[in-house]
Amino acid sequence: MPYATPTTESALSKPITVNSLRKFKREGQKFVCVALYDAPMSAMAQKMGIEVLLVGDSLGMTVLGYDSTIPVTMEQMIYHVEAVKRGNSKSLIMGDMPFMTYATPEQAMQNATRIMRAGAHMVKLEGGAWVAETVRMLSDRGIPVCAHLGLTPQSVNKFGGFRVQGRNEDQAATILNDAKLLDEAGADLLVLECVPTGLAEAITGAVAMPTIGIGAGQGTDAQVLVINDILGLTEKPPKFSKNFLVETASIPGALKKYADDTRSGVFPGTEHTFG
């Protein structure tokens, strides 16, 4: 039997804030994040109770037809953050900092300000110890930050492809130490992408900030998927993704089932994770 199309009873009752996410972590309550790029889907996510929306530079590959996130510009990110904001008044909205827009703390401050003015409640940037000073500067000046470790897509050329990170002891130790440094610097969230399940669990237990996994197992505080993957629109979907539309036959149903399965621990399964 197809998954039932949900009603608006699951809609968010009040705006989600950084404090909301910290409370979820303290109480062991998993929350849900979706990467999306437009006003109609943003409004649908709010109705389906999605707590966090990521306007990711993944739009370079999912919307604009690039082969990586690197060509995405600030103007493109601002355009899509504004669209998502217009469709949603209650989910917490994160906006990605594009490639080479935060190479220095001063540059990061200028560009993060633009993303926040476009409607984001938080900015996201990739990198380990080298961005700690930037995270501290932004946090001290009232700009919430989501950090991103593991497979950081803006470094795809350095990695030699989209590869799992942290599988050997040295890599794992570096990622764990970087997570602690970013936590101490004032980061409010941490995305862990394509890292072994055990490493993601260790990091989640070692930092105060909530963690959001993608290809990182069930041990994180939340999960994120790109809307294209949730709806089966990706020609060659990554291992960590799942098409929820085939089980529901409606876009609202797919979003709701993704959220329900994440909160209950059904998703991700072992087939979506890395050992």
CB-CB contact of 151 with 194 (8 Å): yes
pLDDT band at 162 (very low <50, low <70, confident <90, very high): low
In one letter, which amino acid is 196?
P
**What does the pLDDT average to over 144-163?**
84
pLDDT band at 35 (very low <50, low <70, confident <90, very high): very high
At residue 274 the predicted structure's pLDDT band, cuts being 50, 70 and 90, is confident
Q: Is the dihedral of CA 98, 110, 21, 208 positive or negative?
A: positive
Q: What CATH class is the domain 20-272?
A: alpha beta
SS3 assignment for the chain = CCCCCCCHHHCCCCCCCHHHHHHHHHCCCCEEEEECCCHHHHHHHHHCCCCEEEECCCHHHHCCCCCCCCCCCHHHHHHHHHHHHHCCCCCEEEEECCCCCCCCHHHHHHHHHHHHHCCCCEEEEECCHHHHHHHHHHHHCCCCEEEEEECCHHHHHHHCCCCCCCCCHHHHHHHHHHHHHHHHHCCCEEEEECCCHHHHHHHHHHCCCCEEEECCCCCCCEEEEEHHHHCCCCCCCCCCCCCCHHHHCCHHHHHHHHHHHHHHCCCCCHHHCCC
Q: What percent of the chain has pLDDT over 90?
A: 84
Give the orientation angle of helix 39-47 with respect to helix 74-86, to 10 degrees: 50
126 catalytic? Reply is: no
For the chain, the structural domain boundaries read: 20-272
As given in the structure block, the two tokens for residue 47 are: 């109705």
Largest CA distance in the chain: 55
Tell me, what's the pLDDT at 123? 98
Q: Averaged over 232-248, what is the pLDDT?
A: 92
The yes-or-no verdict on residue 9 having pLDDT over 50 is no
Give the pair of three-digit tokens for residue 41.
Answer: 């889907």
Q: Over 70: is that where the pLDDT of 5 sits?
A: no
Res 272: pLDDT = 86
Please say if the pLDDT value at position 166 is more than 90.
Answer: no
**pLDDT per residue as tens digits for the range 219-238:** 999 999 999 999 999 988 88
Average pLDDT, the chain: 93
Residue 165: per-residue pLDDT: 86
Q: Between the CA of residue 77 and those of 42, 45, 69, what are the distances in Å?
A: 15, 19, 11
Task: Kindly report which listed range (34-38, 161-165, 185-189) carries the lowest average pLDDT score.
Answer: 161-165
**Which position among 9, 193, 235, 247 bears the catalytic label?**
193
Contact 68, 126 (CB under 8 A): no
The residue among 234 and 153 whose pLDDT is bigger is 234
Confidence band for 1, pLDDT divided at 50, 70 and 90: very low
User: Which residue shows structure tokens 């897509």?
Assistant: 153
Average pLDDT for residues 136-150, to the nearest whole number? 98
Q: What is the pLDDT of residue 152?
A: 87
